[in-house]
Structure 1
Amino acid sequence: MDTTLRPTTAGGTGGTLAPRTNAPSPLLPARPTTPADGTSASAPAAPQVTAAPLRAGGSVAQLDGGLQDQVARAQQALDYLDRVSTQLETLKGELTAKLAGTRNGARLQLEAQVRQLTKTLASRRQDGGASIDSNLNYSAAPAVQRFRIRGLDIASLRKSAPQTLSFSVGSVGGPQMSVNIDPDQSNQDIARALDRALAPMGVRARLDDKGELVFLASESDWPAIKDSIGVSGRGRVTTEEVPANLAPDRWTVNADTGNADALRQSLREVVQALERVHRSQVAASDALAAASAQVAEAETPAPNVTLAADDFAKAAASTDYESLLALTSALVGVSRDRVLALLGLR
């Protein structure tokens, strides 16, 4: 129960109990009122004394803030995915019509749509709520950057086994983590060993769907990581970003030159991207619904009556004028109905 016992002027005769959004209801200072005869109270003001506030926790307020952030990120992701989906659907129709020969002379329009999609994809990090990766997959966790380390792949690691590698991320002389690569380890075992060694430095290791070694880092940390990875005996290594599956800037959309195969490949990429976008829309919608439900159900925490009573008793135990003035001023105007309303929060 977050209450503060506050003094007021000696002539004050009113008080109020006002709720705050996302916070326990405080006892506000008494407000001077106008006497019944319409004249203003003119008693001299008493010394202002501020009592220590009663104790309360802010965990629920912090929780609400976190939930609100989740809602905002999911909503931003959905808005971005809707925009991408609309552009992909338009491109799908244009490419299909182009291949079917039912729409001729639309090359400039098609190229303009491709440029628009390229621009939208380039704005993903700013507009996607930090939850959509380069392949348009949604995750409640921050988006990651996938990359490879030149010369550090499963084949070369197995060929050089047994060996011990030490990794560092950051300035020379920084913390190093070592990993042992043995000949009898499976590819998955090697990836797990690398992952355990690199995880404390903000880098993870995985096998992709082709069984190749790939590394991951948070997109927000990537600029600081990409040029600062060191491996024992090799010094600074070269990192290479794994390109996104959807790359419209590399498409050939002009079938007038007879390159219909390029158009078909572009159409396949659009269809696959649409499937990923639709899955991401479902995931983001589910996350938004779950977070919104928690926000709606979050209630102001029940006042801790025991702590409030203890603090009140300590303040009331003092018989000096200032303490009594603070107590009586805080309680003036607090009616039975208001007390019952406050207790109803329990």
Structure 2
Amino acid sequence: MEIAQRPSTTGPSARATANPAPGQAETALGDAGAAIDQAAASKAPAPLRRGLSNMDAPLQNDVSGAQQAIDFLEQTAAQLRALKTDLAAKLTTRNMRDGQVEARVRQFSETWRNRTQASGGTLDAQLNYSNQPSTQRFTVRGMTLANLRNGARETLAISVGGGTAGLRSVHLAPGLSDGEIVSRFDQAMAPAGVRVSVNKDGELVFTAPESAWPGIRDSLAVQGSGIRFPAGQLNRIKADAEAPAVVPEGWGTSDIESMRATLQQVTQALAHVEAALSKVRQELAAASQRVQSELPEIEVAGMGQMAEVFANVANEPGYSALVSLTSALVGINRDRVVSLLRLS
């Protein structure tokens, strides 16, 4: 009696099903992905709102700027502490030949010269923090309220940075208040990137981007009509920069007296740096708090529908369902799961 032979479960067809060729696997992947996409689209889940990677750029700049300023200030404070310790030890032992203090001074001087670049432009020469580019404040001889408020009408032509594009005009007249004088200077010079205020001594204080300061310093000129400033051609005027908080160029180590003076200046500089560091840390804490309060909530509408689609695919037997599940789980690891759970 002939017995009908059953198809072999180990034949080529079965093996192809259990171990599909690369081309077949790619086809199955595409079909499964398309099936999930089509099913999910039919449920029309609500789109996700923006995520952490799309955080507002200004907020990101606040955080990164504060962190960069803190890095510079911490490095500066560490160098000043080391220099202070070495100076005190050298004054105690009166050992003047090892050269360690001189090396410390050179190291700090180099760090301070790189302040603008190292801090990302967030710290000016007084270590005032701002997430805007650092600025340089300066005064100009003769630009005082006492001098500007007196006299007949006069129009001042002020050259800022050279060239006709930097030529500004300020109209002065008897009877102007101090506030009006300052306002006229500020309005006239703002287009050139220079803002104007007044200090307690009645001097006009000009504020310009630190990067533009060398050009302004070397080209600032004014022309009047002979009342407050000379008539004729533009006359160069001297601009005096506000003294920086730290001046390591003046630190001496050649003798006991100069080292004592340097130790005092280093101590003052360290106090100034630590105060600035405390303020920037407060700025960073405030920015971090804003990050937490402005984190977008995850939109959950439609998530249940997407989960249902996924579950339906998982319940279907066969290789296609397996491929769909494994491809959907690619890249899912413990860190991602923990991060998502923390958002709640």
Q: 1:105 matched to which residue of 2?
A: 95
The CA deviation at 1:121 is 0.3
Aligned AA for 1:252? G
Q: Work out which of the residue numbers 123, 126, 132 in structure 2 matches 1:132.
A: 123
Aligned AA for 1:274? L
Q: Work out which of the residue numbers 308, 320, 338 in structure 2 matches 1:336.
A: 308
Q: Structure 2: how far apart are the matches of 1:110 and 1:14?
A: 71
Kept in 2: contact 1:92–1:267 (CA 8 A): yes
The CA deviation at 1:141 is 3.2
Q: 1:219 matched to which residue of 2?
A: 210
Q: Structure 2: how far apart are the matches of 1:97 and 1:189?
A: 56
Q: 2:247 matched to which residue of 1?
A: 247
Kept in 2: contact 1:150–1:237 (CA 8 A): no
Q: 1:278 matched to which residue of 2?
A: 274
Aligned pair in 2 of structure 1 residues 253, 184: CA closer, same or farther (>3 Å)? farther
Q: Structure 2: how far apart are the matches of 1:166 and 1:301?
A: 56
Aligned AA for 1:64? D
Q: 2:16 matched to which residue of 1?
A: none
Deviations 1:278-301 (A, max 9, x none): 221122111212222333444347
Q: Structure 1: how far apart are the matches of 2:181 and 2:112?
A: 34
Matched, 1:267 2:239: no
Alignment of 1:132-171 (within 5 A): 132-154=123-145, 156-158=147-149, 162-167=153-158, 169=160
Kept in 2: contact 1:64–1:295 (CA 8 A): no
Aligned AA for 1:197? A
SS of structure 2 residue aligned to 1:131: coil
Aligned AA for 1:246? V
Q: Structure 2: how far apart are the matches of 1:153 and 1:135?
A: 23
Matched, 1:77 2:69: yes
Aligned AA for 1:213? L
TM-score by length of 1: 0.61
Kept in 2: contact 1:169–1:230 (CA 8 A): yes
Alignment of 1:282-293 (within 5 A): 282-293=278-289
Aligned AA for 1:251? W
Aligned pair in 2 of structure 1 residues 299, 87: CA closer, same or farther (>3 Å)? closer
Higher-helix-fraction structure:
2
Q: Structure 2: how far apart are the matches of 1:228 and 1:56?
A: 55
Q: Structure 2: how far apart are the matches of 1:176 and 1:28?
A: 63
The answer for unaligned runs of 5 or more in structure 1 is 1-8, 18-26, 31-53, 306-332, 340-344
Alignment of 1:1-346 (within 5 A): 12-15=30-33, 63-97=55-89, 101-106=91-96, 108-154=99-145, 156-158=147-149, 162-167=153-158, 169=160, 172-174=163-165, 177-182=168-173, 190-208=181-199, 210-222=201-213, 225-227=216-218, 229=220, 231-233=222-224, 234-235=233-234, 237-238=236-237, 239-256=239-256, 260=257, 262-300=258-296, 334-336=306-308
Deviates more, 1:170-179 or 1:116-125: 170-179
Aligned pair in 2 of structure 1 residues 337, 67: CA closer, same or farther (>3 Å)? farther
The CA deviation at 1:84 is 1.0
Q: Structure 2: how far apart are the matches of 1:185 and 1:268?
A: 46
Q: Structure 2: how far apart are the matches of 1:180 and 1:110?
A: 54
Q: Structure 1: how far apart are the matches of 2:198 and 2:52?
A: 40
Kept in 1: contact 2:49–2:298 (CA 8 A): no
Deviations 1:42-68 (A, max 9, x none): xxxxxxxxxxxx999979966433322
Kept in 2: contact 1:253–1:263 (CA 8 A): yes
Aligned pair in 2 of structure 1 residues 222, 334: CA closer, same or farther (>3 Å)? same
The CA deviation at 1:122 is 0.4
Aligned AA for 1:284? V
Deviations 1:11-64 (A, max 9, x none): 9543389xxxxxxxxx9689xxxxxxxxxxxxxxxxxxxxxxx99997996643
SS of structure 1 residue aligned to 2:62: helix
Q: 2:3 matched to which residue of 1?
A: none
The CA deviation at 1:276 is 2.1
Aligned pair in 2 of structure 1 residues 296, 143: CA closer, same or farther (>3 Å)? same
SS of structure 2 residue aligned to 1:282: helix
Aligned AA for 1:138? Y
Superposed CA RMSD in Å reads 4.3
Aligned AA for 2:72? Y
Kept in 1: contact 2:146–2:202 (CA 8 A): no
Aligned AA for 1:105? N
Aligned pair in 2 of structure 1 residues 190, 74: CA closer, same or farther (>3 Å)? same
Kept in 1: contact 2:79–2:108 (CA 8 A): yes
The CA deviation at 1:124 is 0.3
The CA deviation at 1:201 is 2.4
Sequence identity percentage: 36
Kept in 2: contact 1:147–1:214 (CA 8 A): yes
The answer for unaligned runs of 5 or more in structure 2 is 1-26, 40-45, 225-232, 312-342
